[in-house]
A and B are shown apart, each in its own frame.
Chain A
């Protein structure tokens, strides 16, 4: 079912829940992976994803279709994931100064992560990036998203995104070159 069809069902009186069910079916996995790559841990992703869909349900009556359902959903999901990362970063900064060590410990303790050495190093490096650079890198590198789509989702310019991606790649390259 297309986004326009989902919106059409939602706008039919008495069909809001049915439309939301279709939306869930169409987007839950895509948003799960979008959030999971940022947050890494499955249980945390589950919590954040629940918040995302509850917010979507509550905000749907005010949704304006001209912004595009895909863009709108990804914007809410990105916002929630960034909020979670900021809060986690603040919690961690009170105890330990080494974010790389925290990320490595978290990854090694995670039974739902079975990546090889390169992937482990990559995700540890990602955890040390500022949240904005991290989200930009992930949307480009893993999702191969177009800069124009990313600009709409993140409400920023293509130039800012390219600069962010460039810096993220440089930092990750540096991490790998250190070995």
Chain B
């Protein structure tokens, strides 16, 4: 039996990870305690209604200014129609084909560019503030 067949068949058969006894019961209690603390903090938080109205007003003015700036000063992004059409066709085929057949439809470079095109945009939302700060620090250090 080849290694390839072995990992595909046996790699997921038994769970190799152990969990400490009673972990889930303890975990639930810990989270609920934190939630109670959080509720207490929220109740004690004091924000005057007049201050909330003032902040909302400033935010609305800034938003209107930003939208106005975008409307009048930024050029619309150029859309590559050929590329959009190609991805639409690929996505249509992707619904019914298995991974190997789908990938074999494309030259190796096309598969990579297809994956990269999607991954860059799709996973941007997953980056949180900490990640962006780290990336910024690396860029600044260069």
Contact = CB atoms under 8 A, between A and B. Distances in A.
A15 interface: no
A21 B35 CA distance: 10
Contact of A118 (B6, B31, B100): B6
A32 B122 CA distance: 24
A160 B99 contact: no
B122 A154 contact: yes
Interface residues of B, number: 52
B24 A28 contact: yes
A122 B11 contact: yes
Interface residues of A, number: 60
A121 interface: yes
A103 to B, nearest CB: 14
Given A54-B34, A54-B38, A160 B118 contact: yes
Contacts of B91: 157-159
Given A21-B32, A122-B7, A162 B94 contact: yes
Given A54-B34, A113-B18, A159 B102 contact: yes
Contacts of B17: 36-37, 40, 42, 112-113, 115
A126 B91 CA distance: 26
A159 B94 contact: yes
B136 interface: no
Given A122-B11, A159-B102, A83 B31 contact: no
8 contacts: A17-B36, A54-B31, A86-B127, A121-B7, A123-B16, A132-B119, A159-B93, A165-B99
